[in-house]
Structures are given as structure tokens and as C-alpha cells.
Structure 1
Amino acid sequence: MALKPVPVQADISLSDKASFFDSLKENPYFSAGFGLVGIGAGLSLLKRGTAFSYTLLQKRFTVSLEIVSRDKSYDWTLKWINSHLKQRARHISVETFFQKNDKNQRVATSFSFAPSVGVHFFKYKSNWIRAERVRETMVDRNTGSPVETLKLTTLGTKTDIFQDMLLQARQSALSEQSGKTLIYHAGLGGDWGLFGWPKDKRPFKSVVLDDGIAENMKNDILDFLKSSKWYYERGIPYRRGYLLYGPPGCGKTSFITALAATIEHDIAILNLSDRGLTDDRLNVLFARAPLNSIILLEDIDAAFGSRDIVKNNPTAYQGFSPLTLSGLLNALDGVASSEGRIVIMTTNYVDRLDPALIRPGRVDVKQFIGYATRSQIERMFNNFYPNTHHGISHEFANKLIALNRNFSSAQIQGFFMLHKNDPNSALQNCDSYFNKF
């Protein structure tokens, strides 16, 4: 019978284990690898600790303000920051614009500087502020410019410093626009944008309408602006609509410009014939209209005709804007229509307008602005030639009235421009000039 071999178990003593680890220590490759792992682990812990400490520092001991370029205060803040950076900023961006010189009324070129994309530091009221301007790849549909973000960070726990900065930036920007009327237009992105540069405010007396019209309109709007409480207490929607109608060239648009300057409002022009204007977009534009502005709908008859016309000729308005009359009516006084709004419509053909568009509640005041009357002609003459005896203006008006024709304010003003500094020449040549019409 064969004997099975019995396995021999090796007994490793403690002294052998110690010698094994000692040999690993003496191995240069093992020692180097273990050291690198230790250093890497240490650096990783240090990095995490630094990041954690920085995040904790930001949350506990700093405050930040983020402004996107779509916000109205973005440009104000950039210009204000540049005034505080002064000569310390090494990287700046420039915007070139043109403005009239107050002395000679000639157009001059000006430059507006702002911090460029990147990080900048400046001091405000003993506080160091970090300003980071970031430019995104996304494009703003209203301006066509890249979307930007401005982030301001400073030590502290309160945001009062940022509120103070924004108020100063706003005040500085408004001081530059003092005495100006801003014109807004509807952009492609469904929001409002500035159209051109701010315009000098037009004097109210520079637009001569028939007796009492201008003053009555101005007083009505001023009464509306101070009657919000009266409207709310009686449950009446706080908005006002006006319709100016009459022949072309009689001063409708000019009067609106002068009226806006008098009540210190801007003008937001809305083109209803825009092919990209839909009912939904119109509602958004009405809701986002600039504060303290008049919404101007010029030549409203060109966008819509009476429903009787469309009924008799269904193809009469094909190819026009996708905006519907129902959409405009809802924007004017629907459930979602905005409050505190002034809308002025103009038309040369009031008979073409749908009765539903100009009913009370949508149009509160209808004002006819027609051809020049005797009183208008005399006052226009006196405006152009203020140092002339009033008897000449009376004689000039008599000559035009004797022609037994209708003349617009634009026609009379065009004639005065030919004799800017010579009232006697204007009186002598008016017959031959106006007989052409």
C-alpha cells in the first residue's frame, strides 16, 4: 500500500516578515513610487482643501452682483465703472457715436470707453471690487451682439454697495439724456431697443395746430398721468388711447414728438405692418413697453381695413402682416393688457378703420387735425419771423385764404424755408408759390 505524501507547511517567523519589509524599504523603485503616491495624495487633499476654503470664503465673506447685457443697467454700469478705473485699466473697449455740438449744431464724433472682456479691479468707497466681464457665444436677437455678463464681487455681507453703485450709474446715464427724447422700436427678439441716438426735445410751441387743440390734448394727458388712484378706486383700467386723424402733412407726428417732450415721456414706435409681427409677439411688446413712454401706432389704416371691406374682398389684405385685428384688440384692452399705458394712433383715412378698433375704451379721444386755418397761418408766420409786425402775418394769411385752397402745415413750412430770414420776401412771393398747388 503506497503512502501519500504529506504537504509541508512553511512557518514564516516574525523576524522573516520584518526582513521582508526592510528589503522593500531598501528597494529604490518601491520607495520612489510610494513617495510619489504620498505627494500626489497630499497635493490632492491640499487642492480640495483650498477649493473648499475659497468656496467657504466666497459664501461667508463676499457678495456678488451679476448683470446680463439684456438688462438696461448693463451699459450704464460699464460706463460708470470705466469712470472709476480711470488710468488703471489697460484693456478697454470703445463705442463710437455722433452727437450735435450745442454751440454750432454741427455733428461731432465722440467715443465712449468701457472695460473690455476680462477681469478688472477698482476701488469704490474704500472697498476693492472685482469686475469680470464675460462674453458668451450666444447672440442677442434684438441687437445682433453677443450676450455678455458682468459680475461684480467684493468683501462684505451686504448688497447695499451694489444698490448705491447702480443708482449712481443710472443717475449718470440719465444726466447724459437730460433734455432728450428717446425713440424705441420693436426688435426681432420680441423686445424694445433704442432707435438711433436721443433726440433734442422739441418745444411744444413749435408745432402750431388749430386753436385749443394742442393745449386740450396736453391737459388731458397730464390729468390722466395724475389720476391713477381715481381709476383704480372705480375699477376702470388705467390706460388712455388717442386717435389723431386728418390729411397728411398737417402735423400729427410732429405734435406727438412735441407732446412727448412736454410730458417728459419717450416714444415707442410699433409698426403693425411688420411681417414678423404676430398676435403673441404684439402682446409681449405691449407688456414690455418702456416705462414713461408713448406707444405710437402710425398709419394704422395701412395695417387693417374695415371688416366690411375684407368681407366683400377676402383677398384684399393677403400678404400683409400675420397680425390679426382680433390680436390688436386684445392687446389694447384684453385681460392681459398692461396698465398705465398711453397709446396714440394716427391715420389719414379714419373711414377705413374698423369701428371696433376706435370704440370708447380703446380710443378715448379722437382729434381731427386738418389743413391750416387762418389762425394757424398767422401763428406759423410769427413763429418763423418773431420780430416782424403782426400786420404782415395777417396780410400773409389773407393772401393764402383768398386762394380758396387747402394747404397743409408742411407746405407752408416748406415755403418759409425758402425765405428763412426775409418776411417781406415771403409776403411778396407767396401768391406765385402757392398758385402751383
Structure 2
Amino acid sequence: MPVSDALAALQDNPYFGAGFGLLGVGSALALARKGAQFGVLAFRRHCMVTLEVTSRDKSYHWLLAWITQRARRAQHLSVDTSFHQHESGKISTTFSFIPSPGNHYVWYNSKWLRVERNREKQMIDLHTGTPWETVTVTSLGTDRQLFHQILTEGQWAVQARRAEWPTPAPNLYVSMCVDPGEAMYQGLGRLTFSGLLNALDGVASTEARLVFMTTNYLDRLDAALIRPGRVDYKQFVGHCSHWQLCQMFQRFYPEQPATAAQRFADEALAVSEQLSAAQLQGHFLLYKMEPLKAIENIQQITE
């Protein structure tokens, strides 16, 4: 029977016209919809593999580095600005453009990968103050080794970037104490001596950090502050010796011969035997590109 004749017969059917037929059609469409949803869910569960990485995981930055290399055609980008300090004190700035939150598609190892970057606007990381993010990578098939390759390549990319710029160790904190027996101020918040001790190794302390404390009055410091276990190493930094003068000169002017460094050290000690490293650095900065003038005008270092 042709479809047109079947539809005409349904129209003439009194039960169909009363609503039973429409109910049946609606039920059939609902079942078809449920079946399609179940089929899609079963396909994702058995024919697709998904990796989710949160911003708290160490491999998160590796995955972002890999996405940056692969998704070069992304039109919506986010910028990651980093600063790198050289041994000479010069600071260089680099910009890394990362695909912004949203969906991106990457062709990798003869497969299309769906990369979804989500950013929670209502949640932030209490340690870094940045919004909470997750990156989800979805691929056809069940090969989990693919994700291992992706993270390994991302790790290599991050290591290569760090190798280009010598940077200090992460999570490095520098604390200066002048007279911890009195109340001190840090920013807009008041810090007491007991609060300082708690910040060093008490309930308010954090892991993976180095603390440097400097003072001009070691004898005035409270014994609780510099006890063994809280201060592991003490180093007296006095005035520069002849060897230190030569080393600093060669560090600022590496192209100069050793004889020039020796001459600078001799003339500097002739001016004063009590020269600090800060004085030398300030003098060198005045003559960044003129090492000979730094030697000739050494008398100005005490002015």
C-alpha cells in the first residue's frame, strides 16, 4: 500500500482521529529519541576516549603548551605573559598565545581531536588566585597511549622554553627582617613577631619555598627566630674582596680580559677597602656599555 493511501486511511479512521493515533505516533517519536540518546551515549562510552585535566594538575601547563603548538589556526586566543631575568639583571618578556576557552579541533596522528577548554567564572584557585579551569581532550577509538604522547610532547615543549631563558626556582620567597622584636608592616596588613614565626614554619607556612632573611644587626634578633631548624644556614656578607671585585667586573663585562678585571679591582681597593656589592652594581649600571670608563671613574663610587 502506498504511503499516501495509508495516510488517507488513518485520516478516515475514527480512533486515529480521536487522538489514539496521535498518541501512538508521539510515543514512537519519544522512543526513537530515547533510542538515539542511548545510541550516542553508548557510542561515546565504547568508541571514544576522553581525558580531563584540571588547572591544579601539574600536567595542565604541559597540555596547554601542546595545544599552543598544534592549534595554530585558532581564531580566539588568550595571552600568557612571562618574564625572564638574566644573570646580568636584564629582564626579557615573552608572550605565548593559547587558544581561549571554548571548543577547538586538532589534527594529530591521523585523528581529529576535540579540545574543550572550560573556565569557571564563579570558582578560583585559592593558591594562585586564577579562575578554575579544565581542559578535556576527546578522540575516536580507545587508544589511551595517545594521551601519554600528547602530555610527553607538552612536557618537552615546556622544558625547551625554560631552557631558553634561565629563570629562578619556582615558589621563591624573599623575606627581609630588620628588627623582628617590634611590630612590622607588610603592605597594608600588620604583621607581628608571632605571626612571622607562624608564617615561617607554623600553621600559616606553605611548602616548596626558600626564605632568605637579611639583617644588619644579628645580635638583636630573637633566638627563637634564628634557632636551628628554622634557620638552616647563616652566611655573613661583608665588603667585597679583591677576588669578588674581579668576578663582578667579569660578570658585567664578559668580553673584557682578565687583566682589565685585575686593574679594576686594584684601583677600586685603592679608593676604598669597604665597598659593598650594591655599590659595585650601581657603578656598573652607570657604565653598562663602557667598561673602560667604569675603571677610569672608579673614584665616583664613594660619592
**1:390, 1:151 → 2: CA distance?**
57
1:148 to 120, 133, 138: 133
1:351-391 deviation per Cα after TM superposition (whole angstroms, max 9, x unaligned)? 34322232223323211011223333344345556334566
Check if 1:60 corresponds to 2:35.
Answer: no
- SS of residue paired to 1:358: coil
**1:121, 1:398 → 2: CA distance?**
65
Bigger drift between 75-84 and 34-43 goes to 75-84
2:239 to 371, 386, 392: 371
Q: Residue in 2 aligned with 1:324?
A: 195
**1:392, 1:93 → 2: CA distance?**
54
**1:435, 1:330 → 2: CA distance?**
41
Percent of residue pairs identical: 35
1:396 to 267, 276, 284: 267
Amino acid at match of 1:147: W
**1:397, 1:110 → 2: CA distance?**
38
Cα gap change, 1:320 to 1:352, in 2 (>3 Å): farther
Deviation at 1:108, TM superposition (A): 8.9
Deviation at 1:65, TM superposition (A): 0.9
Q: Residue in 2 aligned with 1:114?
A: 98
CA contact (8 A) 1:378 1:396 kept: no
Amino acid at match of 1:327: N
Cα gap change, 1:410 to 1:33, in 2 (>3 Å): same
Check if 1:268 corresponds to 2:171.
Answer: yes
Amino acid at match of 1:113: F
Map 1:278-289 to 2 at 5 A.
Answer: none
**2:118, 2:170 → 1: CA distance?**
32
- SS of residue paired to 1:45: helix
1:69 to 51, 55, 75: 55
1:322-371 deviation per Cα after TM superposition (whole angstroms, max 9, x unaligned)? 77245245449x9x986xx6734221233343222322233232110112
Amino acid at match of 1:268: N
- SS of residue paired to 2:234: strand
Query: TM-score, normalised to structure 2's length?
Result: 0.73
Unmatched runs of 5 consecutive residues or more in structure 2 = 1-9
Deviation at 1:427, TM superposition (A): 4.5
**1:354, 1:154 → 2: CA distance?**
61
1:138 to 116, 122, 129: 122
Deviation at 1:123, TM superposition (A): 2.6
Amino acid at match of 1:168: E
CA contact (8 A) 1:130 1:154 kept: yes
- SS of residue paired to 2:98: strand
CA contact (8 A) 1:92 1:113 kept: no
Amino acid at match of 2:279: Q
- SS of residue paired to 1:64: strand
Unmatched runs of 5 consecutive residues or more in structure 1 = 1-23, 183-259, 261-265, 270-295, 311-315
**2:291, 2:71 → 1: CA distance?**
55
CA contact (8 A) 1:76 1:170 kept: yes
**1:384, 1:130 → 2: CA distance?**
50
Query: TM-score, normalised to structure 1's length?
Result: 0.53
1:119-148 deviation per Cα after TM superposition (whole angstroms, max 9, x unaligned)? 333232233322222333324256665433
Count of residue correspondences: 281
| Rg comparison, structure with higher value | 1
Cα gap change, 1:409 to 1:109, in 2 (>3 Å): closer
